[in-house]
Homo-oligomer: A and B are copies of this chain.
């Protein structure tokens, strides 16, 4: 698409297919999509494509042998031919992109027939896009990549070419679901469910050719605000009937509609608590409305008291999701998915894995990640989140949970995409979107391998100097970001409201429940059972024991679980205060080094992309220095402990 970055689908990645002879067998709309892709590649590179022709000499056969809707496929190479076999149309589409990813290797050595399929049936992006520009949050809440792909000036965009291009990119990394509006559902957005469903249907039509089902965020209060009912009580028959009618209307417009996303009783959104009902009651009412059509309700577990008193150290926001939802395990309908943020707080650069994961065997959980970099540099900082996500997704497995169980409800990320020409504001933030899609497909994939894939696809034919430079810039960037921001898992310390840049006490005396309790002797949150909030007791063994003791708690989470003295010795052999100083100096040095690497890649990267990233590195470096100096000064002023290496602290 002209004027828009091709991301991980530049023309060049289709050369191996486009120069060869391809046969496509089977029919259906997604098979047509496959054909369109191959035909375009052949037109560009001189190859050929046939549909359902008699066997001739073909280099690639893409064959559909059924129509069961499966997303899996098999891949084999033999007798000079590469074959993808699928029993469902989506499988054939994913098989095509599998071949694209493999490139020339897909046509190299023989390979036995290998089944390939996603570990999770739902691989979803939630867009926090507003239809009407919100006076504070703007067009996209927590969006750092321009406007919305879907909405502009209070309504759906008329030209959906960009949405189609987005769907194509998503299919190529394995995404199969998109929620098109913000979970904070304001007045305009509420109406998408009813009289404005046509706008959603148009978007769904643009995404459908790439196997993507469209979802809608709805307000729990819809029967009141849209239907004029006196109540939204989920056990009220009139309310249930209203939702049934509304849902029928949605499916009349969008027969393959995916379902609803709901943020209820959270940060001011309405919910079942107002009627003395449980969140299972609320979710099941919507599940019942969706059930006849095969739809799913995604019910967010992000429920906590955001009017907390900072004076009260017994209330612990980290406990909230578990305390609210574990007692409801087994009560949710089969087509209700409980969508759980990966950590107990809110997408901080370092949190333990949410104790809900693994604690609700009778409930379909989906793990929610955040691709949009709200707390991780807002797409002005390079911060590739692959390693963090991989740790999150592997951790439950280490607890004995299978990846299949983990992913039963799906994997969800808040999208980092807008109408920016590079899609993600920071061109290198595309790697986060790609990595999420691939990890959602295969949660135990090696993130470094996925980064390599992204580099090969985005910079086809990149010389090793470029590929190595990109790895150097991206691979450690999450840990670099962690180093210069809030230390040792303590979280927050950001500017209130917009969440960009440092403010060590920014949330310390606020109602949001995110505190560090730093005093002249030490800092951190005591969440132990022995002397703290008892949060460690929400974990199964061994983690409940590991986290309980400062002897065994991992360094990087120490301040999340314990309040310790500044001279507490970490496993690393450094004191807490010296760790704070060291990591903050190191973090800035690492940004400086990455900036130099990027500068050295000039000439190997197209000028527009190189210039945009170079400019953003200036801001990242400025911001990293600000973080370093504020955090170090704050803790020096409080602790009085000088830096062991005598570096400048203000």
Contact = CB atoms under 8 A, between A and B. Distances in A.
A640 B565 CA distance: 14
A639 interface: yes
Interface in A489-519: 502-505, 509, 518-519
Contacts of A311: 629, 633, 650
A244 B223 CA distance: 64
Contacts of A505: 503-505, 634
Counting chain A residues whose Cβ lies within 8 A of the other chain, the interface size class is 20 to 34
A435 interface: no
Q: Indicate how many identical chains form the complex.
A: 2
A509 B518 contact: no
A520 interface: yes
Nearest to A648: B311
A502 B509 CA distance: 9
Contacts of A638: 519-520, 637-638
B509 A640 contact: no
A135 to B, nearest CB: 8
A647 B637 CA distance: 26
A311 B650 CA distance: 6
Interface in A117-169: 135
A533 interface: no
Interface string A617-643: 000000000100110011011111000
Contacts of A633: 311, 509
A521 interface: yes
A98 to B, nearest CB: 49
Contacts of A637: 518-520, 638
Nearest to A519: B637
B502 A640 contact: no
Interface string A590-633: 00000000000000000000000000000000000010011001
A640 B503 contact: no
Given A311-B650, A505-B504, A520 B639 contact: yes
B650 A521 contact: no
Contacts of A639: 520
A301 B638 CA distance: 37
Contacts of A310: 650
A639 B638 CA distance: 8
Contacts of A640: 519-521
Contacts of A634: 505, 509
A503 B506 CA distance: 8
A504 B310 CA distance: 15
A630 B508 CA distance: 9
Interface string A264-276: 0000000000000
A288 B159 CA distance: 57
Interface string A523-565: 0000000000000000000000000000000000000000000
Nearest to A630: B509
Contacts of A626: 509
Nearest to A313: B650
Interface in A302-344: 310-311
A638 B634 CA distance: 11
A368 B221 CA distance: 51
Contacts of A521: 640
Nearest to A501: B509
A584 B363 CA distance: 51
Nearest to A311: B650
Interface of A: 135, 310-311, 502-505, 509, 518-521, 626, 629-630, 633-634, 636-640, 650
27 contacts: A135-B135, A310-B650, A311-B629, A311-B633, A311-B650, A502-B509, A503-B505, A503-B509, A504-B505, A505-B505, A505-B634, A509-B626, A509-B633, A509-B634, A518-B637, A519-B636, A519-B637, A519-B638, A519-B640, A520-B520, A520-B637, A520-B638, A520-B639, A520-B640, A521-B640, A637-B638, A638-B638
Given A502-B509, A638-B638, 5 more contacts: A503-B509, A509-B634, A518-B637, A519-B638, A519-B640
